[in-house]
Copies of this chain bind each other. A is one copy, B any other.
C-alpha cells in the first residue's frame, strides 16, 4: 500500500534561511523583512537571467553565512527555477563546490526541494542539506508571456511573478523542524488560460490537502496557518470552495504567499504574486520568523506549481499542476 504522507522520525531542523528580493517586493507589506533587496532588480548583472542566478547565489551565500557553514560543510544543494533549462540555478550556483540536484516543479519547487532535503536528512543519507529557488518578473514575462517592451495588458486573474530567491539550510539544529511531507500528484482540470495560473493550480492543491487531512487525521483548526504558495486571489477562492464541498473549512486558517507578498489594493499586481521565489521569500522572512518567535507553532506550507508551457498551450493542451506539502513545527 502506498504511503503518501511521510512522517519523519529523524526530524530535520531549519538551521538558517536567507531571502533576497526586487523593488516591487521591497515596496510590499513584507519589504522591511527581506535580508537583501536590489532596487533596480538587476543585482549588478546585465541580463535578467544572470540577475536571477545572482539572486540564488546571494541567497545560498547568505544562508550559509548565517549558519556559519562553508561549501564543504554542505552535503547537497537542491535547486530550481522557472526558466528554460533552469538557467537561474545552473549559472547562479556554478561557483559552489557542493553536489547539485536540479529540480523542476514550477512554483512548487521551493517546497519540493525542502521536502526532498528533509527526506535525505531523515533517511540518514546526508547531515546538512541546502535548497534554493528563485523567480524573476522580467525573465519570466519574456519567457512565458511577452517581453516587457511589448507592454501587453494584464488580465484581472493574472499574477505578478515575484522577483526573489530564498535559500534554506537543513540539519540538526534550529528552532523550527519539518515534521511531515507529502509529494503532490499532477492534476489537470482543463484550464488553458495563460493568465489564470491560480485556477490551474487550485485543484492540485485541493488534491494534496484533501489527501493530507485524510491520512494525517488532522483538521484545519489544528494549524496556526495553512499557507499556499502562490494561488493568488482567484486560486485561493477556488481552493477554499473545493475543500468546503468536502466539509474541510480552511477559511479561518488559510493565507497565500502570493497575497502576503504584495498589497493588491496599492500595488498593481492583479490577483497577487507568483513564482518559485514567492513562497521561497515569504516562508523565509515571514512564516519562519513567526514560528521562531512562537507566534506560530504548527504550520502547513503547500507549494503550488502550474506546469505551464507556452509550446504545449499553442498545441491546444491544458495546464497540469502539482502541489507539494510540508509541515513545520516549532
A interface residues with partner B (beta carbon < 8 Å): 1-4, 6, 47, 49-50, 71-76, 80, 83-87, 90-91, 93-94, 96-106, 112, 116, 119-120, 122-127, 143, 182-186, 188, 307-312, 315, 317, 320, 322
- Asked whether B100 lies within 8 Å of A186 as measured between CB atoms, the reply is yes
A1 proximity list for chain B (CB < 8 A):
72-73
- Asked whether A309 lies within 8 Å of B87 as measured between CB atoms, the reply is yes
- Asked whether A47 lies within 8 Å of B315 as measured between CB atoms, the reply is yes
Minimum CB–CB distance from A305 to chain B (whole Å) comes to 8
- Asked whether B123 lies within 8 Å of A85 as measured between CB atoms, the reply is no
A1, A126, A185: residue with the most chain B Cβ atoms closer than 10 Å: A185
Given contacts A87-B312, A102-B104, contact A186 B93 (CB under 8 A): yes
A123 proximity list for chain B (CB < 8 A):
119-120, 122-125
CA distance in complex: A99, B324 (Å): 9
CB < 8 Å neighbour of A103 from B94, B102, B126, B143? B102
- Asked whether A4 lies within 8 Å of B99 as measured between CB atoms, the reply is yes
- Asked whether A99 lies within 8 Å of B183 as measured between CB atoms, the reply is yes
- Asked whether B186 lies within 8 Å of A2 as measured between CB atoms, the reply is no
CB < 8 Å neighbour of A312 from B49, B104, B120, B307? B49
CA distance in complex: A85, B72 (Å): 31
Minimum CB distance partner of A306 in chain B:
B85
Given contacts A80-B104, A90-B307, A123-B125, contact A49 B315 (CB under 8 A): yes
Minimum CB–CB distance from A102 to chain B (whole Å) comes to 4
- Asked whether B99 lies within 8 Å of A184 as measured between CB atoms, the reply is yes
CB < 8 Å neighbour of A104 from B4, B74, B104, B308? B104
- Asked whether A72 lies within 8 Å of B2 as measured between CB atoms, the reply is yes
CA distance in complex: A127, B123 (Å): 12
A97 proximity list for chain B (CB < 8 A):
185
Minimum CB distance partner of A305 in chain B:
B102
CA distance in complex: A186, B100 (Å): 7
CA distance in complex: A160, B69 (Å): 43
- Asked whether B104 lies within 8 Å of A103 as measured between CB atoms, the reply is yes
**Can you spell out 8 A-B residue pairs with CB atoms less than 8 angstroms apart?**
A2-B73, A49-B309, A93-B186, A96-B185, A99-B182, A100-B322, A104-B104, A119-B120
A116 proximity list for chain B (CB < 8 A):
101, 116
